[in-house]
Amino acid sequence: MALRNIRKFGDPILRKKCREVENIDDRIVTLIKDMFETMYEADGVGLAGPQVGILKRLFIVDIGEGPLVFINPEILETEGIQVDEEGCLSLPGETAPVKRPKFVKARALNEKGEEFEIEAEDLLARAICHEYDHLNGTLFVDRAKRK
């Protein structure tokens, strides 16, 4: 495993739309392991492919309940509203209040290529939506509530 460089705000790769993962091979599995190592080292709760320079529809999340891998994710359903402070490893030191769904239902593949669905609330729902946005070139500052 290896630490990856986290791309910072202003890097054009953060604004690009990611491509589907065609094949979950050894390179993707290594990337996932590297992403977890990088995220934990940076004290984050999520990390998406473009944040480490890889334009693939892939992100990871761990809010303290165990690691989750999302490959080619889809948001199936959202409900409710929550507003809370958000930050991002690509915008170190920056936070802002962001409105997100309180509940989200998503479908994705895990690192073994197995499809799963997850229903999440509160922080996990926020983290999934935040990382999903990265796959479409959207950053939390784009959704921040203006003061």
Q: Which CATH architecture has domain 12-143?
A: Alpha-Beta Complex (3.90)
130 belongs to an annotated ligand binding site:
yes
- 128-139 pLDDT, tens digit per residue, is 999 999 999 999
Domain boundaries, the chain: 12-143
Instruction: Report whether 94 contacts 8 (CB < 8 A).
Output: no
Tokens 């309940």 belong to residue: 65
- Options 41, 114, 121, 131, the catalytic residue: 131
- 53-105 pLDDT, tens digit per residue, is 999 999 999 999 999 999 999 999 999 999 999 999 999 999 999 999 999 99
Model confidence at 1, pLDDT cuts 50, 70, 90, reads confident
> 3-state secondary structure string, 100-112?
ECCEEEEEEECCC
What confidence score (pLDDT) does residue 42 get? 97
What confidence score (pLDDT) does residue 145 get? 76
Following CA atoms 126, 127, 132, 133 in sequence, which dihedral angle do they give, to the nearest 10 degrees? 70
* DSSP structure class, residue 135: T
77 catalytic, yes or no?
A: no
Q: How far apart are CA 134 and CA 140, in angstroms?
A: 9
